[in-house]
Structure 1
Amino acid sequence: MSLLGKKFNAPFAKPFAPFFFAGIIMMYGINSFGNTLMNTDEFKNDPRNPNAGKTQKPADKH
């Protein structure tokens, strides 16, 4: 007796493939949009921004 119930020989990945690809495309789009928003002037100096301390200003030559 199995704890997971009866096993059925049915395809799983093939019918759900469009949903997997759509999920990957959505995650890529949301990540790209978030990265774009992190680099805007409004959020560039926000302390919660992981890129806030990484920008270096060019040294002034006197």
Structure 2
Amino acid sequence: MSGLLGKKFNGAVARPMWPFYVSGLVILYGVNSAANAMMTAEEHKNDPRNPLYKNKPASH
């Protein structure tokens, strides 16, 4: 079976990738903050697709 997969190389994976993991978390935090700010903005406050929209119309 090892002939199909090729040679195994011993190498660190997580250690050299930590800047990418950290920057990914920073980007996700920024996107989440921007989305929360837009949900509470005056322009989108009464949008029916907004999860924070409280005055939902009565369903027919």
Q: Percent identity?
A: 52
Partner of 2:58: none
TM-score by length of 2: 0.79
Offset, 1:4? 4.1
Aligned residues between the structures: 54
Q: Which residues of 2 match residues 1-62 of structure 1 at below 5 A? A: 1-2=1-2, 4-53=5-54
RMSD: 1.6
> Structure 2 stretches of 5 or more lacking a match?
56-60
User: C-alpha distance in 1, partners of 2:7/2:41?
Assistant: 54
TM-score by length of 1: 0.77
User: C-alpha distance in 2, partners of 1:34/1:4?
Assistant: 43
Offset, 1:39? 0.2
Q: Which has the higher helix share?
A: 2
Equivalent residue letter for 1:12: V
Equivalent residue letter for 1:28: Y
User: C-alpha distance in 2, partners of 1:4/1:22?
Assistant: 32
